[in-house]
Amino acid sequence: MISLPHRHSNAILSNRCLLHQTSRPISIRRRVWIRSSSSNHEQGSEKTTTTKRVVLVRHGQSTWNEEGRIQGSSDFSVLTTKGENQADISRQMLIHDSFDVCFTSPLKRSKRTAEIIWGSRESEMIFDYDLREIDLYSFQGLLKKQGKEKFGEAFKQWQQDPVNFSIDGHYPVRELWSRARSCWNGVLAHESKSVLVVAHNAVNQALVATALGLGTEYFRSLLQSNCGVSVLDFTPRADGGSPHVCLNRLNQTPNSPLAGGSSGGRKTSMQIILVCHGQRDNEAAFASTNDQPMNMLGVIQSQKTAELLLDLRVSSIVCSPKTASIDTAGVISRVQEAAGCLGVDSVPRYVKTKQMNELDVEDVLRKSNKDQAVIASSQSGWISQLDEEEVSALWNRSRKAWESLLDELSDEEESNPGKIMVVVGSPMANISLIAQCLNLSKEWLGLFHLDAGSISVIDFPDGPSRRGVIRCTNYTAHLGRWSVPITRPS
């Protein structure tokens, strides 16, 4: 999916913007390389034949994040105490991974986050100026209130139509997408199997999007929280073409992905939480029975998910009619209703629960003569196990499911604007819903991976009639000792 153009010079910052004063880093304990858009890092010519895993991390909270100031590519803010703590949690999340190299933006807030996460590793660290945050020129340094007062319509366009937003003769989002494609040249050419990239909100969004082949219209559709971790796998193709890309997870945050209530600075209106039912014993058995219950680990996973959702007021639960999904939905419902009795008023909380036949996509497995276990668990290459007819059947069913879910949200948009809907299904069903949310086509299904027991969160800051924002995918930290490690090979 990824297309890597030749490297080129990027736009020079306008004289009106706040210029960053990036100093040349000093090497301590490790080899350090400096790269920019006009320099080439020496690489070997030997081609890799193994999957390259790239882990993206946004920097921790900065002083300008805390103040609500527009940072862009300026370099005047530093990590707050909270930001340093977030970086340390991310360090612990990634402590067992043997990264071969770290690419990082040289801006202070990103550089410090990278140093905390990198710890005592001796492997090389590369400071890449192309990984700086989006260039916002005259906006940089302003409080958001000042931006509205000073720039009026231009600031409104930045908020509502960022792709076509221009300032000081530049189109920042378009420039960012071009720069992100350029960044992938160095990252993918580097002789390494496991890469850590530490950068910023907008540039990490652009890196994920350009890797998947998504255009500038997806800006602000793939959330990146402070110190959120996203994982991309690049698998070489036999024909030597562009590698196959899979988003293993998006925005695994140091705290719960349900914390807060905004998406890209906008208050969340409604939310769909996609829950993958717990693990089952024999996925391959679906070829004949197609309805296996959860095993003991799956039951624990469903209980952990219910506990994660405990502090939310879930409005409704919709699930597949398969046993594992029904049982998972039942656990979530019972915990929600019990939580109501623990409140100040001790009033039982009723949660509407229903089954939706369109969420049952597993009968597709019975028609396939290939590896049902790979398909059911959404392992790498699962989509190739299905023929064209089966993929079309899966896609058409998921489209109907997605339309029905949005209709339910829309019905209560005015009476219940904070509605939270939980949807329980198989990994394959939830992958299909994510693709539907992003308005992709069936050919894109293989770009995503979900684990049993994981949750993915979709926000609707502008209501269900507008495209949702993917807050996170494949979140498993809530499973505790039964969680799926972030950097475990898929």
Q: Annotated catalytic sites, by residue?
A: 59, 133
Can you give the C-alpha Rg of the chain in angstroms? Answer: 23
Do 451 and 249 form a contact (C-beta atoms < 8 A)?
A: no
Euclidean distance between CA atoms 1 and 387, whole angstroms: 20
Euclidean distance between CA atoms 415 and 404, whole angstroms: 18
3-state secondary structure 33-99: EEECCCCCCCCCCCCCCCCEEEEEEECCCEHHHHHCECCCCCCCCCECHHHHHHHHHHHHHCCCCCC
Do 241 and 386 form a contact (C-beta atoms < 8 A)?
A: no
Euclidean distance between CA atoms 226 and 249, whole angstroms: 16
Is beta strand 455-460 parallel, antiparallel or unpaired with respect to 270-276?
antiparallel
Q: Is the dihedral of CA 128, 134, 137, 141 positive or negative?
A: negative
β-partners of residue 421 are 272, 316
| Binding site per annotation, positions for substrate | 58-65, 109, 144
Do 233 and 380 form a contact (C-beta atoms < 8 A)?
A: yes
Do 71 and 77 form a contact (C-beta atoms < 8 A)?
A: yes
Euclidean distance between CA atoms 380 and 45, whole angstroms: 27
Euclidean distance between CA atoms 373 and 382, whole angstroms: 9
Do 143 and 69 form a contact (C-beta atoms < 8 A)?
A: yes
| Binding site per annotation, positions | 58-65, 109, 144
Do 263 and 22 form a contact (C-beta atoms < 8 A)?
A: no
Burial tier of 398 (Cβ tally within 10 Å: 0-12, 13-18, 19+): buried
Listed in sequence order, the DSSP H helices in 260-359 are: 296-308, 323-341
